[in-house]
Amino acid sequence: MKAQTIRNWFNIHKWTSLVCTVFLLMLCITGLPLIFYEEIDHLIHDELAVSAPGPTPLTKDVVLQAAMDEIPGKEVKYIFWDQDHHPGQMFVTLADSAEAPIEADHYLTMDEHSATVLETPPNEMDFMLVMYYLHVELLAGVPGMLFLGFMGLLFFVAIVSGVVLYGPIMKRFDFGMIRTEKSSRLRWLDLHNLLGIVTLTWASVVGLTGVINTLATPALESWRAGQLAEMVAAYEGQPRVRGALSSLQAALDTAQAAAPGMEVSFVAYPGTLYSSNHHYAVYMIGTTPLTSRIIKPALIDAKTGELTDMRDMPWYLKTIFVSQPFHFGDYGGMPMKILWALFDILTIVVLVSGLYLWFARRRAKAEQLKRMVKNAESAESLTLSTIEEDAE
């Protein structure tokens, strides 16, 4: 490879790394606890005791009515289930109206077997939520999310340029060599290069899936304006349904009958962000760690209880949903989480060593410049002394 080409790749690697390193460090640090989100959440919050199932299972309508009686005068926005981590519990979100902002939401955790309230968590961010929103959007909403996506692209360019630069180095040295007999800066350079290659595949996968995930909100808006609008085109111009709605339990049964082998994960009520003005949007998921990320919405007429439409989500949303478990490493159990955490820590070392090398290089150049100035001044002084001696 020509010297000028190497210099160009070096500049690409240096500047893309410098621009994104601080943000990548933040993502690695906040991502570390998120790998163990469920485990930490269990430690922070007391485990809720769910009663044993009765001889006759309660319908979801009975459980939901108990939640609404707990906070009278509110409308239902969302209902959520998590059978893997919270079996027997139903999570209900209430608010003054379907259009109310998230800051005004009220949350209830219901016991599905007894229709009793297990918990009414406050509408505020705890430690894990702060970590999550810092990691996902810098606490800055969609602009922060897209900004982090751009940092992820720079990170990927830095990875590619680093690999290009590492090739010529390995032609002259053994793989994995660390020159312990050389200066501290060279030792850190060798460690930086070695760990960069070791974490190459992991960093590429996590970086690219992270970039894909930052497009989730724009992709959902595109889905709402496209496919969802097509699915409810027959209801266009009609006012939002209000008052008594059809049975929630019947809507869930209808959705499950239309998607055998899947289970209900989430229900969005009419007028909310993830539904239309006329439907229960029942979101079905698969039953394996990976297919649980494949979401299939069923639209159930909230007045008649009939299935209006059910379609697979478009490819771009499927790509985003499938990329999420690869990003957080939460589809392979604890061994996968531990592996993800180890690579996360190694990547932190790569980023910190990169910053150290940049500062060390600048300091070395500054010292070299000082020596050159000092030598020049000494030479000038010697010349003047010689001239003065000759003049005498």
Look at residue 171 and tell me if it is in a domain: yes
Length of the chain counted residue by residue? 392
Domain that residue 14 falls in: 3-41+129-214+332-355
Task: Report angle CA 81, 87, 93 to the nearest 5 degrees.
Answer: 30
**How far does CA 262 lie from the centroid of its chain?**
25
Task: Report how far residue 313's alpha carbon sits from residue 319's, in angstroms, rounded to the nearest whole number.
Answer: 10
Is 282 within the bounds of a domain? no
pLDDT at 126: 82
Q: What is the pLDDT along the chain (392 residues), one digit of tens a residue?
A: 677 787 888 889 889 988 999 999 999 999 999 999 888 888 877 778 888 888 888 999 999 999 999 999 999 999 999 988 889 999 999 999 999 988 899 999 999 999 999 999 888 888 888 999 999 999 898 899 999 999 999 999 999 988 888 766 666 666 666 666 667 777 888 788 888 888 989 999 999 999 999 999 899 999 988 999 999 999 988 888 888 899 999 999 999 999 998 999 999 999 998 899 999 999 999 887 777 878 999 999 999 999 999 999 899 998 998 888 788 877 777 888 999 999 999 999 999 988 888 888 777 776 666 666 666 556 555 554 554 455 45
Report pLDDT for 379.
56
Asked if the structure places residue 21 within a domain, the reply is yes
Question: Residue 144: inside a domain, yes or no?
Answer: yes
pLDDT of res. 169: 64
Question: CB of 278 within 8 A of CB of 232?
Answer: yes
Phi and psi angles of residue 93, each rounded to the nearest 5 degrees, phi first? -115, 125
Query: Does residue 114 lie within any of the structural domains?
Result: no
Q: Is 365 within a domain?
A: no
Integer angstrom CA distances of residue 44 from 38, 333, 340? 10, 20, 22
Q: How far is CA 184 from CA 105, 246, 370, in A?
A: 55, 72, 21
Largest CA distance in the chain: 118
Give pLDDT, residue 383. 52
Q: What pLDDT shows up at residue 238?
A: 87
Total structural domains in the chain?
1
Report yes or no on 268 lying in a domain.
no
pLDDT of residue 384: 44
Reported pTM: 0.81
Cα 195 to its chain centre, rounded Å, is 24
